[in-house]
Amino acid sequence: MPMPLSVLKAELESAFPDAEIEIQDLAGDGDHYKATIVSGAFAGLSRVRQHQLVYAALKGKVGGELHALALETRAAD
């Protein structure tokens, strides 16, 4: 079962409460999303580590109920 956009956004907002989060449903199927996340939690971290934090926040759902997630992350200015 696909993950609704509202659930994805709520999970990311819970993990990164200070973040600006924008999510796009790339295929219109609730299965392929792009998330842009700007958070102070990413300050000083490599892009790989930033993405690891996002995947950890989603607790193993990427590849399961969330088929594909393209990420754009950066630290808040």
User: What tens digit of pLDDT does each residue of 12-47 get?
Assistant: 999 999 999 999 999 888 889 999 999 999 999 999
pLDDT at position 22: 97
Total-model pTM:
0.91
How far, in Å, CA of 7 to CA of 56, rounded?
16
Tokens representing 24 are: 């796009």
Could you state, in order of their start, the residue ranges of all structural domains in the chain?
Answer: 5-75
- Write down the CATH superfamily of domain 5-75: BolA-like (3.30.300.90)
Question: In whole numbers, what is the pLDDT of the chain averaged over residues?
Answer: 92
Closest CA to 5 of 49, 19, 27: 27
